Amino acid sequence: MGAYDSELTAVAAEARAALIRQIDRDGAWRADPVWREAFAGVPRHLFVPYYYVGVFGGYERHAADDPDPAGRERWARGAYADAPLATRLHDGELVSSSSQPSLMARMLVALRVRAGDRVLEVGTGTGYNAALLAHRLGDDSLVTTVDMEDEITGPAARNLSVAGYDPVVITGDGAYGVPAHAPYDRIIATCMLPTVPRPWIDQCAPGARIIAPLNNGLLALTVDGSGRAEGRFLRTGAYFVPLRGAGRAPAEPASTRELPGRACEQESFRFLLGLVRGALEPSRAYALWESAGMPDRERYGVTVSGPRVWAWLDDPEGRHAWPLP
């Protein structure tokens, strides 16, 4: 690429600065502006040497090694779009991606990390989120990240090394956590869950906090000294690649054809329908949703106690509660 390399570096720096300004306006890290320094310091383009952009009928590949200089510039600018970037496809299905930066910022702020915290990330992806955590904590050894396949963790480890970070990268089923590096003060998942894996709770230190996408929402749990975890959903919606392995998602919910016309177009109703999957018929879920005043995500929560995991509306011990898988 010759002299174009310096131009490409300048393009990436300009695009990164624009992304930082955009997230500033979005207010994602207003509660903890130190994360701004991490996003400014970790170059996202080093973690996405190629990615796929959806086009009519499929995906278009953008890459750092594009022989066309204009193509390489398009790759560098696109690496800093405030959008998820597809990084691995299997038979046309998305199996790994780099998450939307502003959503990553909201999740990291919600994690409430402190100096010295040991953090487990479930869903390594490109390694970018692990790098942000390592940058913030200032000690790579405090961060452990796990993903299912060598085809994901191998490139992620290389991306991390190129960017100058060396967290612990493990290939394994994230539903079981990583007991060898426990206990954890914080756990963050970057894949969609159908429930809260019990091994995560067992690997947490008292007072630990867990941020995980569940049912297209972000769940914030606090773990007490007895091994009980409880918390509510945040206002922010979240759409991630599903967790694979032992904690994979169950089948789709039952037919909703018998419901009133536009019921399933209401996001708050779809959220409830996902929570009660298999525990409540859609018609009964609709009646509850309507009578409860069409509740938003923040009125729902999840409790893990012993072998039981259940979701609830308003009160963990109230009348509206449903078992999770």
Q: 10 Å Cβ neighbour count for 286?
A: 21
Which residue is associated with the tokens 């913030």? 136
Across 19-23, 90-94, 195-199, 220-224, least confident range: 90-94
Summarize the confidence of residues 238-250 as an average pLDDT.
66
| Confidence band of 5 (pLDDT split at 50, 70, 90) | confident
| Position 33 pLDDT exceeds 50 | yes
| Position 156 pLDDT exceeds 50 | yes
For the chain, give every domain's residue range: 4-237, 263-323
Fold of 4-237: Rossmann fold (3.40.50)
pLDDT value of residue 308: 93
pLDDT single digits (tens) 169-216: 999 999 999 999 999 999 999 989 989 999 999 999 999 999 999 988
pLDDT value of residue 97: 84
| Confidence band of 246 (pLDDT split at 50, 70, 90) | low
Summarize the confidence of residues 157-180 as an average pLDDT.
97
pLDDT single digits (tens) 129-149: 999 999 999 999 999 999 999
pLDDT value of residue 85: 92
Which sequence positions are flagged as catalytic? Answer: 96
Buried b (16+ CB within 10 A) or exposed e, 103-121: bbbbbbbbbebeeebbbbb
Percent of the chain residues past pLDDT 70, beyond the cut = 90
End-to-end CA, the chain: 52
| Position 54 pLDDT exceeds 50 | yes
pLDDT value of residue 248: 53
Q: Tokens standing for 153?
A: 């963790």
Ordered DSSP codes for 81-147: SSS-EEEEEETTEEEEEEPPHHHHHHHHHHHT--TT--EEEE--TTSHHHHHHHHHHT-GGGEEEEE
Q: Tokens standing for 108?
A: 């990291």
pLDDT single digits (tens) 285-312: 999 999 999 999 999 999 999 999 999 9
pLDDT single digits (tens) 72-106: 999 999 999 999 998 987 776 677 789 999 999 99
- For residues 307 and 2, the model is more confident at 307
| Confidence band of 264 (pLDDT split at 50, 70, 90) | confident
